Structure 1
Amino acid sequence: MSMNIGIDVDGVLTDMQTYCCMKGEELLGRPPVDRAAKKVENMFKITKFEKLRYGGTLFFNYCKKCPPREKAAEIFTKLKEKGHNLHIITARRFITRKNPMGVHCRRVLKNWFEKHGFTFDGMHLCSWKDIQLEKYQGCLKSNVKIMIEDNVDTAKYLAQRGIKVLLFDTLYNRELVAENVVRVTSWQEIYNKIAEQEKM
């Protein structure tokens, strides 16, 4: 049985937290004070000056150079071969802006997908302002039955509205235990969970 599957990028296709911990430490010259924080400013308790000076460098370094999680591209290909429809439904700073910065951010993401061999059936880009609602709208538009997500609030929002969520395990989402949310720790486990759904 083929399914429409929604997939987030940051924290799901990538290990954003580990990468930003490592690169932030290199850039700032000090270890993180809170490895469980999702935002870099909280991870390192950076000052406004540091955010202005280093924020853009770290952000674009991550967007361009962070590798995919282990087996992510391989599992993508396997899911496509089994006939599933894969839809990127993701939010990222600046990416929905209709200005040169937005154009650049969309190009960076497109290049990253091409570099690492990800092919998919559709993409729905969301703003930070209404992230939960926009991701839900993206799921409805693409008739998504399963969403692979890492954000606690988004996972709860989607699960409460009938969309099954595979929550990629991270330090910043460990507290979430909710109906219709299944925690996964690898892309191989994601593949296995989807295979279970195929039989239902």
Structure 2
Amino acid sequence: MVNLNICIDIDGTITDAYYWLDFCNEYFNTNITKEQVTEYSIHNVLGIEEESYNEFYNKNKFILHEDQPLRENVQEILAKLSEDNSIYFVTARDKSLSMLTHRYLRKNNIPYNDLFVLGSHYKVDKAKDLNCDIFIEDNYENAIQLSTAGFKVLLLDTNYNRHTLNENITRVHNWNEIYEIIEKLLLQSKAM
């Protein structure tokens, strides 16, 4: 029996939040540290025009997303969660990255029911379509949109999302904490 529909972002959520930093520093001849990444818009962090960053990204997006390191314990936690829950990846990645993203998830033994590559940061409609019970995210604006639409959001802590949260958002620091929260939710739902 499926208990929860869990929607999960990919970049910065199951992967290291700063995977792009070394590549960008080398390309743009900058020396930005993780601590300096205090906003989500990478071009602002690097101090460059958005158009320059977009040009760089479009030339390098397949390389950037091919081998991102995973966050600690992601594989084990998702394996446990997938036993009794539906796992849906909902990413803002460009649609041209669909096949690469499927390959990446399979190569890293990440279990999932389906993948939705939206090409947009607006995830509310897809969360509604999937009857999402909980959404795991790292982007603050996405978390606000989802939580305002009534979804429970677990926001993985990063230097770029430390802003005021509303009652539907819980800040988490790692995947073990995510697992504990979801297990409590499951116990509460069974008790009702």
Distance 1:56 1:126 in 2: 16
- Please list the CA deviations of residues 56-83 of structure 1 after superposition, one character each: whole Å capped at 9, or x if unmatched: 45433321121111111111101112x1
Contact 2:9 2:89 survives alignment (8 Å): yes
Could you say what secondary structure the match of 1:113 adopts?
helix
Q: Name the structure 2 match of 1:168.
A: 156
Contact 1:168 1:185 survives alignment (8 Å): yes
Q: In structure 2, list runs of 5 or more residues that go unmatched.
A: none
Q: In structure 1, list runs of 5 or more residues that go unmatched.
A: 96-101
Aligned pairs for 1:135-174 (under 5 A) are: 135-174=123-162
Q: Name the structure 2 match of 1:19.
A: 19
- Please state how far the C-alpha of 1:85 moved relative to its aligned partner: 0.8
Select the residue among 177, 181, 185 that pairs with 1:189. 177
Q: Aligned AA for 2:23?
A: K
Q: Name the structure 2 match of 1:36.
A: 38
Distance 1:48 1:156 in 2: 23
Q: Aligned AA for 2:178?
A: I
Q: Name the structure 1 match of 2:47.
A: 45
The answer to which of 32-41 and 187-196 deviates more is: 32-41
Question: Does residue 127 in structure 1 map to residue 119 in structure 2?
Answer: yes
Aligned pairs for 1:69-84 (under 5 A) are: 69-81=71-83, 83-84=84-85
Q: TM-score w.r.t. structure 1 length?
A: 0.83
Could you say what secondary structure the match of 2:183 adopts?
helix
Identity of aligned pairs, percent?
Answer: 29
Q: Aligned AA for 1:38?
A: Y
CA RMSD after TM alignment: 2.1
Q: Aligned AA for 2:137?
A: E
- Please list the CA deviations of residues 32-73 of structure 1 after superposition, one character each: whole Å capped at 9, or x if unmatched: 284223233222113578547643454333211211111111
In structure 2, relative to structure 1, the CA distance for the partners of 1:53 and 1:179 (3 Å cut) is: closer
Could you say what secondary structure the match of 1:199 adopts?
helix
Aligned residues: 185
Contact 1:158 1:165 survives alignment (8 Å): yes
Could you say what secondary structure the match of 1:144 adopts?
coil
- Please state how far the C-alpha of 1:144 moved relative to its aligned partner: 0.9
In structure 2, relative to structure 1, the CA distance for the partners of 1:57 and 1:40 (3 Å cut) is: farther
Distance 1:157 1:47 in 2: 26
Q: Aligned AA for 2:80?
A: K
- Please list the CA deviations of residues 65-111 of structure 1 after superposition, one character each: whole Å capped at 9, or x if unmatched: 21111111111101112x1111111111x31xxxxxx2xx1111111
- Please state how far the C-alpha of 1:27 moved relative to its aligned partner: 2.8
- Please state how far the C-alpha of 1:141 moved relative to its aligned partner: 1.4
In structure 2, relative to structure 1, the CA distance for the partners of 1:53 and 1:80 (3 Å cut) is: closer
In structure 2, relative to structure 1, the CA distance for the partners of 1:91 and 1:27 (3 Å cut) is: same
